[in-house]
Chain A
Amino acid sequence: MKLKVFRYDRESGDSRYDTFELDPSPGMTVLSALFKIQEEMDDSLAFRYSCRGAVCGSCGVLINKVPRLACRTRVESLPGGEGQVKLRHFPGMEETVSWDPKEEVLVESLPNLVKIKDLVVDMDKFFEFYRAVEPTFKPASEAPEKERLMDPKAVSELEQYTNCVLCASCVGSCPISGKEEEFLGPAALAKLYRFHIDPREAEDDSRLLLANDKSGWWGCEFNANCKAVCPKGVPPILGIGKARKEIQKLGKEPK
C-alpha cells in the first residue's frame, strides 16, 4: 500500500508530494501509518495528534479528498473506494496531484485553513470564530444550592451538537468557508445553536442574533458537506436551518 503525503514548509514556501510504501497491519489507521513513516522513514514529517482515539479533534486531515480524523480512518478501508463520501464541490476537492485511488491513499492538510508544515494547519482562525460565538454556558439564574438540573427531554437534541470535538473537518469541507473569509463556519455556528437551545440558558434571542448576518446563519448555502464529513455525527446544517426559521418567525431577518 502506498501513502501519498502532502509536504509543505512555511519557511521556504515549497510544497511537494512524497510517496511512502508500507505494509499495513490489520486495523492500522492513517494516524498509525503516519507514525510509522515518521519513525522509520522520514522524521521531518509533521502532523498533529493527541488522544489517538477520536476525542481530541487534533488529527483532522484531508484523506482521499475527504476531511477526516486520521486516528479514526482505517487504511485498509480506503483503496478501492470503500467509505467514499459524496461531497459538493469545495476548494480541497480540486485535483492537486495525480494519484491512483485503487493503490494509493492521498493524505493532505485540511483545506480552508492556512498551512504551516506538511499536514499541520494554523487553527487560529478556527478558534477565533469559535470564540466569536461566546461558546461558554451563560446560566439564566443564580447558581442553585445543588446542581443545575437538565431536562432529559432536551438532551437528545442538544447532544447532537455537544459531541463536536473541534476538529475543523467541517470547515475544511465547506464551500462557503472556502470563499468567504468572514464566514463563521459550520462548527462555530453549530456551537452557537447548541447554546441557544440549552434549556438552562435564558430564553431570549440574544444568541440567535449574534450571528444574524451573512457571516453567520445567512452565509450558509446548504451544501451539507459539514454533516457528511463530521466524524462525530454533528449536523451543523440542521442547526443553521432551524436558527434561520426561528429568526424568520421573529421577523428579524437581516436586510
Chain B
Amino acid sequence: MHGLRDELKKLMFEYFGVFREGKKMEEGLEKLLELKARYPEVYIDNKSAVFNQALSYALELGGLFDIAEAVARGAIARKESRGSHARTDYSDRDDENFLVHTIYRLEGPGAEGKPGGKPVLEYLPVRLGKFPVKERAY
C-alpha cells in the first residue's frame, strides 16, 4: 500500500510538478491510469477495528488517485501558464480562453456499477472582484 502511494507521489512530482509540458503530461496520465488500475489490489495486514490507520490510509489512497487524475486532466487541458501551473509549451497567460475555473466530475456509474464514471471537464466563469485582471509583474 505504501509502495503504491510512494509511486503515486513520485509520478505526480515528476510529470505534474510546477513545470509542465503537454507531451510529458500525456505520458504521465497514461502511467497514472496504469498505477490507478493497481489500486483494487491494495491490501492491509491490520484488521483492528480500533484506530486502524492502515485502513484510513488505504481508503485515502483511492481518493488520492481520483484527485491526481483530476489534476492531470485539468492541467493537460489548460493550454496556458498561470501561477504555479507553468507550461513550458505555453508559457503565456491566456485570459481569453482560460480565465475560468476548471470543474472536473465523473459522469455516470463506473465500471461494473462501481463509483467512478467518465471524467468530464467543464469550465465556469471567474467572478472578478475589485482587482483588474492583469499579468503578474513578479
Contact B50 A44 (CB under 8 A): no
Contact A38 B48 (CB under 8 A): no
Q: How far is the CA of A46 from the CA of B48 in the complex (A)?
A: 10
Number of interface residues of B (CB under 8 A): 12
Number of interface residues of A (CB under 8 A): 15
Produce 1/0 per residue, B22-57, CB < 8 A to A: 000000000000000000000011101111111000
Partner of A10 from B46, B50, B52, B54 at Cβ < 8 Å? B50
- Minimum CB–CB distance for A42 against chain B, Å: 8
**B1: A residues at CB distance < 8 A:** 43
Produce 1/0 per residue, A30-49, CB < 8 A to B: 00000000111001111100
Closest to B1 in A: A43
A142 within 8 A of B: no
Partner of A11 from B45, B48, B54 at Cβ < 8 Å? B48
**A43: B residues at CB distance < 8 A:** 1-2, 44-46, 53-54
CB-CB contacts below 8 Å: A118-167 with B: 118, 120
> Interface on B for A, CB 8 Å cutoff?
1-2, 44-46, 48-54
Instruction: Show 15 residue pairs from A and B whose CB-CB distance is below 8 angstroms, ordered by the A residue.
Output: A38-B53, A40-B2, A43-B1, A43-B2, A43-B44, A43-B45, A43-B54, A44-B45, A44-B46, A46-B50, A46-B51, A116-B51, A117-B48, A118-B51, A120-B51
